[in-house]
A and B are shown apart, each in its own frame.
Chain A
Amino acid sequence: MVAIVTTRQCFLAAALGVGLAIAGQVIAAPIISSLPTLNVNEARAELGKRLFFDKRVSGDVGISCATCHEPENGYANKDALSKGYPGNKHFRNAPGLINTAHKKVWMHDGRIGTSLNDVTREMITEDYIMNMDMRIMQERFKQDPVYVKMFKAAGLGEPSNGGVRKAIPEYLKTLTSHGAPFDKGTMSVSAKRGLKLFKGKAGCIACHNGPVFTDGKAYNTGVKENFDVWLDPQRHQAFIAYAAFMGIQNYMNLKRDPGAHVQKHVADGSGMGKFITPSLRELKYTAPYMHNGMSKTLADVVAFYNRGGDNDRNKDARMKPLALSKAERKDLVAFLLALSGEPLTGSKYVWQEPYPAEYPVIANWLNVPN
């Protein structure tokens, strides 16, 4: 509850544009800013890049990280709901990964709040995502001379699960926005008007703040369910597996995405339908939007907020109609687009060399250590 009070005060603070003294404590107005520079271990990031695009990271070698997180789509995906592992499909939208290294909490339901090392493990091993037994993965990579060299060069010894979980996050650090008009100070007049609305009348900054434009907290904004989650048995099966694993009661009857409810399981269900505030950077590339892809365009997103979100009894009290004019909505979209930088495509970000078609035989196998 403390967090919510604080957030509410932040919202007011933002609206007023001043700091407020709460219980003797000065709460600063939320700020938005450019991203800090991250130190990147080049050799490790290069290894992570090769891993990110390598299908051998998944159980049946059918998909890579990039299958759902496509460079040309801001490392998100054009599908409203993600592909997931062959044999099933996913029940949420694949989020963009640009700036993910700057976050402190991951997944739409915020179930991982430790590090990208853990996120990497979760993505690789979860049965409806990549379904990989990492013990097999490790042996696959020991069988690839290119990896043997790259792990060593990255200071990670021989190929290992732990090494993969270090290298992929290192690569993700390289996926940091650059060249956004907001950061360069080259915003259009319309975008500047949008920024004002963002901080003021539209109140976006209450939650979308900091250098990544997210406070990393979960809210219920009343996004409509995407019925495809239930109408497509291949999605519903993944949803059931998730809900059962997360310990949701009556999961066979569940017709809504529980979201961050999985973190605390508040008994009255008031946590149902909360989702982590997403970043607003790079939205130019990452349509459709929301945790379930229910908003196709940024205009749709702004219209959604302008009407105070959709129906949900748990909806955050601050979700109220904004009464933005058509011109104001346009300005807000212009500002959101000014948060997108250069596309992170090309060989600097994308592994472009072919992968070996098969695992080379280790010669003289009997006489060399495994």
Chain B
Amino acid sequence: MGSFNKAPILFLVTTVMTMATFTFAMGDKPPASASKVSISTAPATATQPQVKTFAKVADPSIPPLAALGPPPVPADNLMSDAKVALGKLLYFDPRLGGDASVSCATCHEPEQGWSFAEGISRGYPGTVHWRGSQSVMNSAYYGKLFAVGSTPSLESQAPSAARGGVAGNGENDIMEARLRLIPDYVNRFNDVFGEPWPTINNAWKAIAAFERTLVQRDTPVDKYLLGDKTALDNQQLRGKALYEGKARCIVCHNGAFTTNEKYYNIGVPRSTRWEEDGLSQVTFRFEQYAKGTTEEMYRNIKDDAGLYYRNKNKWSMGKFRVPTLRYTKYTAPYMRQGQFYTLEEVIDFYDRGGFDEEGRTTSFLETKTPLIKKLSLTDEEKEDLLTFIEALSGDEILMDKPRLPPYQSLFTRAELQTAQAKK
């Protein structure tokens, strides 16, 4: 089944995936609000057609799958070749991190699906992260970045990552100072932004512009939806029908970007990493402390409470933003802490109604969406679904690390001597 262009996975997480959930408004509401989704269960035809047609999830408010258009570009950060070229250098430059050893690309590696090979990201030296790195590929389409949508734009995501204590651990002032001592950057920033010195905010803008070029719009699914009916084979078409019907993935993973960007608790079990690794326990507590939980919660919580950290609403416990399914062929492992190594495991998890193979589910039972339920997919159907989901990824997009421009002293010795004489 799924062939992954990736080395066997070491630990757990990264791309948070959710597939079948069943509410539409702002993600799950308290239990009172029941599912509004109805699925007309069409009888499986007695004769086996080449492409099984399942009744589609019947709700006109669900945006259909569509070919991916160009990413939105904010009016205050327009694209230019020079800006993208600068952003690419900065993306790979570890000087935009605390001890100049960690760049964006360290945890969002091109050859790891622009994410990280382990379920929990490596983090800053001396630390480990507590969630997986999400793929940068196609991140330009998100309106809510990070696992719980903590930032609304690529421009604001970059500094959050570069400055986070268990991520880049950089401070604005010294990162900005470094840029100013790299003559090639001084010229490029001046050229792109028309300001005399590089500023850290412009660095994030350039990185965001570069990331807006990391998009994939020519997957088999895109081609098919644009009219090339040969782009998907029969098995993939059967998978598509399952995606839009019996497996009900479409309810949340809909529209051109395959996500409604809402928040759900789909039942992903707790990462076992926190029970097994001291350093991970350090970070786990740090996150509780840093995110402003109550003392009682800090003492007692044993899992990632997700959206709760943002709004402190108990009905948000364990909810995470629906991620895109595009490019997931390359971004294993899956879920926020890499709970699943393969897409097969992910499909099995949904098929069981949000339980892993040992029967484990979310730590926050009271918020688990009632709309995740047993799907009763046959083995053949699971394979069909997998082939379709894989068709949401095109060719792997790789990139060589660019050669980075060097530091140079800003003043000559003669200039310093002149200043000394005038002191």
- Taking Cβ atoms with an 8 Å cutoff, the residues of A that contact B are 56, 58-62, 85-88, 127-128, 131, 133, 135-136, 138-140, 142-143, 224-225, 227, 230-234, 236-238, 240-241, 244-245, 252, 255-256, 273, 311-313, 358-362, 365-366, 369-370
Contact = CB atoms under 8 A, between A and B. Distances in A.
Interface of B: 95, 97-101, 124-127, 165-166, 169-171, 173-174, 176-178, 180-181, 197, 274-279, 281-286, 288-290, 298-302, 407-411, 413, 415-417, 419-421, 423
B420 A370 contact: no
B126 A56 contact: yes
Given A361-B277, A369-B300, A234 B423 contact: no
Nearest to A235: B409
Given A135-B289, A230-B409, A233-B408, A140 B101 contact: no
Pick the most buried of A236, A312, A313: most chain B CB atoms within 10 A of its CB: A236
B181 A236 contact: yes
Contacts of B277: 361
Contact of B410 (A58, A225, A236): A236
Contacts of A87: 95, 97-101
Contacts of B173: 127, 240-241, 244-245
A140 B413 contact: no
A234 B407 contact: yes
A56 B410 CA distance: 34
B180 A131 contact: no
Instruction: Give the interface centre of B124, B276, B423 by most chain A CB atoms within 10 Å.
Output: B423
B326 to A, nearest CB: 34
Contacts of A234: 407
Contacts of A359: 278-279, 281-282
Q: Which 9 A-B pairs have the closest CB atoms?
A: A359-B278, A87-B100, A133-B165, A61-B126, A87-B99, A240-B177, A233-B407, A255-B419, A127-B171
Contacts of A139: 282-283, 285-286, 289
Nearest to B276: A361
A231 B416 CA distance: 9
Contact of A86 (B100, B170, B288, B416): B100
B275 A85 contact: no
B302 A365 contact: yes
Contacts of A360: 278
Contacts, number: 166
Given A60-B125, A135-B165, A237-B181, A370 B285 contact: yes
Contacts of B286: 133, 135-136, 139
Given A142-B282, A230-B409, A245-B173, 11 more contacts: A59-B169, A135-B289, A140-B282, A227-B417, A234-B407, A236-B177, A252-B410, A359-B282, A362-B278, A366-B302, A370-B285
Given A311-B420, A370-B300, A365 B274 contact: yes
A233 B131 CA distance: 35
A59 B98 CA distance: 8
B423 A142 contact: no
A146 B85 CA distance: 50
Nearest to B165: A133
Most buried by B among A86, A227, A245, A273: A227
A324 B169 CA distance: 52
A244 B417 CA distance: 23
A127 B168 CA distance: 12
Contacts of A227: 413, 416-417
B103 to A, nearest CB: 12
Nearest to B124: A60
B416 A225 contact: yes
A61 B411 contact: no
Contacts of B290: 135
Nearest to B290: A135
Contacts of B410: 230, 233, 236, 252
A94 B125 CA distance: 25
Contacts of B408: 233
Given A61-B126, A86-B101, A233-B409, A131 B282 contact: no
B302 A255 contact: no
B46 to A, nearest CB: 51
B421 A311 contact: yes
A286 B148 CA distance: 52
A80 to B, nearest CB: 15
Contacts of B284: 370
Nearest to A225: B420
A138 B408 CA distance: 38
A236 B178 CA distance: 9
Given A59-B124, A230-B409, A311-B421, A237 B279 contact: no
Given A60-B101, A86-B100, A136-B127, A241 B177 contact: yes
26 contacts: A58-B126, A59-B124, A60-B99, A60-B126, A61-B125, A61-B126, A62-B99, A86-B100, A127-B98, A131-B98, A131-B99, A136-B166, A225-B416, A227-B413, A227-B416, A230-B409, A231-B411, A233-B178, A233-B408, A236-B410, A238-B177, A241-B174, A241-B176, A255-B416, A365-B274, A370-B284
A209 to B, nearest CB: 28
Nearest to A361: B278
Interface centre among A233, A234, A244, A313 (most CB of B within 10 A): A233
A140 B283 CA distance: 8
Contacts of A135: 165, 286, 289-290
Contacts of A136: 127, 165-166, 282-283, 286
